[in-house]
């Protein structure tokens, strides 16, 4: 209890030694001394293994409500709950900041005034009372009272008084690093190295200056980091806006190209459809003509199958045996109408039927003629002039030159005679 009080009293006395440059940087410094959980200046600051600092109570409360232990700021996980110890150096900086900014000071009233309490000007550690300007006069005049220890008025007087001996804490024990009164120095701290609080405070000032320099450097580093982050964010925003505009332009052009391609495709499909329809119509017309021709041939074959004019049958057989001219079915595209496909299949079946019927008719007729075959010898004297007979008189061929001249109109009378 006494040790805690002495440490607090030492911290309180440090408030009487404000730094001249602290006020000029209190804004950024306040941000650096702010707990990211409660968003207030640190109270009993503790540091996590990852280096971030928080109020001890804030961090404990955060971890008490969680089954895992992570840094609330950077989210780094810890395998076990860290043992939290107050960062004394950071706490000293916080106390300095609070003292300069006036956060920890309040108006202390004179303990002697009866009616209207006046603002206290000084506090006497020996008398343990606060005095206004009027009631402080004896301490400035009476020789015995002049020896009393006067400090700036504070609310927590107990922090400056030894709780055991109720004496001012005027000495500092270097061995225990705590403030003690005169009686403590000659009893419990008799063999310890003790000095006045003024001397101990003077020794701490260089350390505080070093701490202040470090804190100011941290402030500058973080301010520069903030500027860099803002600049990076600005560049990212500008780049993002540029990329967004470029992507919109790209997709607009792409959509336009797709629409043009779609329009061209529809037009192409329409032209193809019209061409296919025209082709189908022409093909149907041609197929219908071929069907008419095939039916005519079928009728002719039917007539020849019952004829007794064997010579005529043999003469026209070569022309009948040749396949009838038909269209190439591969010319029909895959998207031809179903009715055209059915018509084509019907035509194929009809052609196959006619071929089969022709072959059967000719074969039957040849067999029948072979039963009545005789050895015939043609007479060259009675043969037509365009005919050439073989030497044995059993074969006859037309003269090609004479026949071709007849085709062009020459010797028409001979053709008519045939």
Neighbours of 371 (CB within 10 A): 6
Q: Report the alpha-carbon distance of residue 318 to residue 331 in Å, rounded.
A: 29
List pLDDT tens digits, range 277-286: 888 898 888 8
**DSSP, res 329:** G
pTM: 0.34
| Residue 412 pLDDT | 38
Which residue in 387, 391, 389, 392 sits closest to 402, CA to CA?
A: 387
25-79, pLDDT tens digit by residue?
A: 445 667 778 888 888 888 888 999 998 899 988 898 889 888 889 998 898 999 8
pLDDT at 89: 80
- Low-confidence stretches of the chain (pLDDT < 50) are 1-26, 104-105, 330-336, 338-339, 401-418
Strands 122-124 and 171-173, by their bridges, are unpaired
Q: For the chain, what percentages of helix, strand and coil (3-state, to nearest 5) are there?
A: 55, 10, 35
Long-range contacts of 17-20 (CB under 8 A, 24+ apart): 17/201, 17/205, 17/208, 18/96, 18/99, 18/100, 19/96, 19/100, 19/208, 19/212
Say what the pLDDT of residue 15 is.
34
Give the pLDDT of residue 354: 56
The per-residue pLDDT for 142 is 92
Report the pLDDT value the prediction gives residue 57, as an integer from 0 to 100: 86
Number of other CB atoms surrounding residue 262 within 10 Å: 10
pLDDT for res 351: 59
**Residue count (the chain):** 418
The per-residue pLDDT for 344 is 60
Which pLDDT score, from 0 to 100, does residue 151 have?
87
């Amino acid at each position: 209890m006494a040790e805690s009080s002495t440490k607090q009293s030492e911290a309180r006395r440090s408030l009487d030694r404000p730094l001249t440059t602290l006020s000029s940087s209190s804004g950024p410094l306040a941000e650096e001394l702010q707990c990211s959980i409660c968003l207030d200046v640190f109270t009993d600051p503790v540091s996590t293994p990852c280096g971030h600092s928080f109020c001890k109570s804030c961090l404990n409360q955060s971890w008490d409500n969680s089954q895992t232990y992570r840094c609330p700021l950077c989210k780094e996980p810890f395998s076990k709950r860290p043992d939290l110890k107050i960062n004394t150096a950071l706490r000293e900086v916080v106390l300095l900041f609070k003292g300069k900014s006036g956060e920890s000071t309040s108006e202390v009233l004179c303990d002697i005034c009866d009616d209207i309490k006046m603002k206290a000007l000084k506090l006497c550690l020996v008398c343990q009372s606060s005095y206004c300007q009027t009631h402080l006069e004896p301490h400035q005049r009476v020789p015995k009272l002049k020896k009393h220890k006067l400090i700036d008025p504070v609310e927590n007087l107990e922090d400056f008084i030894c709780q055991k001996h109720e004496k001012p804490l005027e000495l500092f024990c270097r061995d225990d690093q705590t403030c003690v009164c005169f009686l403590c120095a000659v009893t419990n701290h008799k063999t310890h190295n003790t000095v006045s609080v003024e001397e101990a405070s003077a020794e701490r000032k260089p350390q505080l200056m070093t701490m202040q320099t470090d804190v100011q450097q941290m402030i500058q580093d973080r301010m520069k980091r903030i500027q860099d982050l803002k600049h990076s964010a600005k560049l990212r925003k500008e780049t993002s806006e540029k990329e967004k505009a470029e992507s919109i332009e790209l997709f607009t052009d792409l959509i336009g190209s797709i629409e043009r391609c779609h329009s061209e495709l529809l037009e192409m499909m329409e032209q193809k459809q019209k061409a296919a329809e025209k082709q189908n119509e022409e093909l149907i017309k041609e197929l219908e003509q071929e069907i008419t021709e095939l039916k005519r041939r079928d009728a002719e074959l039917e007539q020849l199958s019952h004829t007794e004019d064997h010579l005529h049958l043999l003469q026209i057989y070569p022309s009948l045996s040749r396949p009838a001219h038909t269209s190439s079915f591969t010319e029909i595209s895959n998207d031809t109408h179903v009715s055209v496909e059915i018509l084509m299949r019907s035509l194929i079946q009809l052609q196959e039927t006619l071929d089969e019927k022709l072959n059967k008719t000719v074969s039957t007729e040849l067999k029948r003629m072979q039963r009545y075959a005789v050895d015939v010898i043609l007479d060259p004297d009675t043969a037509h002039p365009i005919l050439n007979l073989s030497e044995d008189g059993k074969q006859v061929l037309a003269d090609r030159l004479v026949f071709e001249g007849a085709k062009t109109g020459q010797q028409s009378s001979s053709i008519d005679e045939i």
